[in-house]
């Protein structure tokens, strides 16, 4: 295990503000599609060993029921994964907002909608962050799993990373009863790159 | 002139203050608050001429702080600077008494345009 990567208070504050702007773009993109207003929450930022991801998700996830977990690999200046978590009821409400009838809603349709939303959120969130940090990021097609416990989460999340920076926010459309969570995981080299980029921003202030 | 910059992010406050410093005159004062409650308290004590207000903040958010400040002083000049770029957020902030709504990140052009268009 390499030495833990540490961000000081100013670096964390700066990253939080950048993510706030990125999540603002993502929320606006979805609220435009749903023609609705979402509550924007303050992002939470944590850096820890990748082996603790399941523990983190169990302790911090807003979901406690069957849910979809869609993830999209990111390559470039910001490398890692963008994860979108949504419970089944919220996913069904999302499907209804997209114009599906109750009798049309099935696992395939829900997966399709969640994947589409993941695409939109990833490009809005990471696209904005990459632009603010003057880098480029490419996206692989998102994949999806339906799970009823984080203990059943694919172990790739622990195998592929040593440390992770987890940036999480809750997306909430109260009128439509839709609540979801966005989590960004980045690999060690990207964490260091992010920290250097943030230092450059801070130097200019 | 007194200015109040409210944001829970120190970096975001620094960005606004950096731009403000290029526009203000000698003797002008810049005050800072890190949440809506602090902004309300500082407003009541110092009565700044112009306030810059973030929306997504702990303790009291910018929507509520704007509302309470305008209830205290109907002539309060509040500019919202936010990452929440939804139309609904803009409508709510303006309804609560904000005079202008600016999307983050703020830059020199946006700051000058906003001050010019508001006639400040």
- Mean pLDDT of chain B, nearest integer: 92
- Give the residue extent of every domain in chain B: 2-117
Q: Is the pLDDT of residue B120 over 70?
A: no
- Mean pLDDT of chain A, nearest integer: 86
B83 touches chain A (CB under 8 A): yes
B96 touches chain A (CB under 8 A): no
Would strands A44-49 and A163-173 be described as parallel, antiparallel, or unpaired? Answer: antiparallel
Q: Is the pLDDT of residue A30 over 90?
A: no
Predicted local confidence at residue A111, as pLDDT = 93
Q: Give the gap in angstroms from C-alpha B28 to the nearest C-alpha of chain A.
A: 20
Q: Is the pLDDT of residue B77 over 90?
A: yes
Q: Give the gap in angstroms from C-alpha B93 to the nearest C-alpha of chain A.
A: 13
SS3 A188: helix
Reported confidence tier of residue B74, pLDDT bands at 50, 70, 90: very high
Predicted local confidence at residue B2, as pLDDT = 94
Min mean pLDDT across A2-6, A155-159, A165-169 is at A155-159
| Closest in B10, B12, B58 to A42, CB measured | B58
CA distances from B58 to A40, A41, A72, B61 (A): 12, 9, 30, 6
If one compares B63 and A174, the residue with the highest pLDDT of the two is B63
- Give CA–CA dist A120/A33, Å, rounded: 10
How much is the pTM?
A: 0.84
B106 touches chain A (CB under 8 A): no
| Start-to-end CA span in chain B (Å) | 11
Whether the ipTM is more than 0.85: the answer is no
Q: Give the gap in angstroms from C-alpha B1 to the nearest C-alpha of chain A.
A: 23
Predicted local confidence at residue A53, as pLDDT = 83
A158-176, pLDDT tens digit by residue? Answer: 677 778 888 888 888 878 8
Reported confidence tier of residue A62, pLDDT bands at 50, 70, 90: low
Q: Which CATH architecture has domain B2-117?
A: 3-Layer(aba) Sandwich (3.40)
Mean pLDDT of A78-95: 89
**Residue A51 in contact with residue A153, Cβ under 8 Å?**
no
Q: Is the pLDDT of residue A92 over 60?
A: yes
Reported confidence tier of residue B65, pLDDT bands at 50, 70, 90: very high
Q: Is the pLDDT of residue B33 over 90?
A: yes
Reported confidence tier of residue A51, pLDDT bands at 50, 70, 90: confident
Q: Look up residue A177 and give its two tokens.
A: 């009863």
Q: How many helices (H) and strands (E) does chain A have?
A: 6, 8
Distant-in-sequence, close-in-space partners of B90: CB < 8 Å, separation ≥ 6: B80, B101
Q: Which residue of B has its CA nearest to A9?
A: B10
Phi then psi dihedrals of residue A164, to 5 deg: -135, 150
Chain B interface, best mutation among A11, A22, A28, A175, by max B CB count within 10 A: A28
HSE of A138, CA atoms in CB hemisphere, 13 A: 3
Distant-in-sequence, close-in-space partners of A129: CB < 8 Å, separation ≥ 6: A18, A19, A21, A22, A78
| Closest in A32, A40, A202 to B56, CB measured | A40
DSSP-assigned letters across all residues of B30-99? EEEESSHHHHHHHHHHH--SEEEE-SS-SSS-HHHHHHHHHHH-TT--EEEEES---HHHHHHHHHTT-S
Highest mean predicted confidence (pLDDT) among A79-83, B20-24, B54-58: B54-58
Predicted local confidence at residue A156, as pLDDT = 66
């Amino acid at each position: 295990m390499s030495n833990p990567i540490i961000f000081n208070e100013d670096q964390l504050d700066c990253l939080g503000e950048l993510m706030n702007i990125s999540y603002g773009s993502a929320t606006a993109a979805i609220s435009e599609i749903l023609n609705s207003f979402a509550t924007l929450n303050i992002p939470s930022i944590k850096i820890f060993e990748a082996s603790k991801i399941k523990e983190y998700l169990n302790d911090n996830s807003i979901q406690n029921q069957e849910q979809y977990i869609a993830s999209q690999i990111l390559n470039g200046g910001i490398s890692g994964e963008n994860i979108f978590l949504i419970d089944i009821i919220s996913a069904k409400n999302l499907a209804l907002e997209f114009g599906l009838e109750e009798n049309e809603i099935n696992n395939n349709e829900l997966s399709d909608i969640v994947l589409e939303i993941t695409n939109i959120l990833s490009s809005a969130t990471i696209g904005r962050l990459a632009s603010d940090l003057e880098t480029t990021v490419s996206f692989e097609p998102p994949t999806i799993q339906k799970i009823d416990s984080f203990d059943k989460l694919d172990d790739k999340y622990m195998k592929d990373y040593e440390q992770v920076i987890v940036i999480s926010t809750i997306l909430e459309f109260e009128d439509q009863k839709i609540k979801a969570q966005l989590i960004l995981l980045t690999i060690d080299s990207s964490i260091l790159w992010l920290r250097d980029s943030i230092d450059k921003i801070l130097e200019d202030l | 002139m007194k200015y109040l910059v409210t944001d829970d992010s120190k970096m975001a406050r620094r960005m606004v203050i950096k731009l403000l410093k290029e526009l203000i005159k000698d003797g002008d004062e810049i005050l800072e608050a890190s949440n809506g409650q602090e902004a309300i308290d500082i407003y009541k004590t110092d009565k700044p001429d112009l306030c810059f207000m973030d929306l997504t903040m702990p303790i009291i958010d910018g929507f509520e702080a704007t509302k309470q400040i305008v209830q205290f002083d109907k002539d309060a000049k509040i500019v919202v600077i936010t990452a929440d770029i939804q139309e609904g957020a803009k409508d709510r902030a303006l309804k609560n008494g904000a005079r202008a709504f600016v999307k983050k990140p703020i830059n020199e052009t946006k700051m000058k345009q906003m001050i010019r268009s508001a006639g400040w």
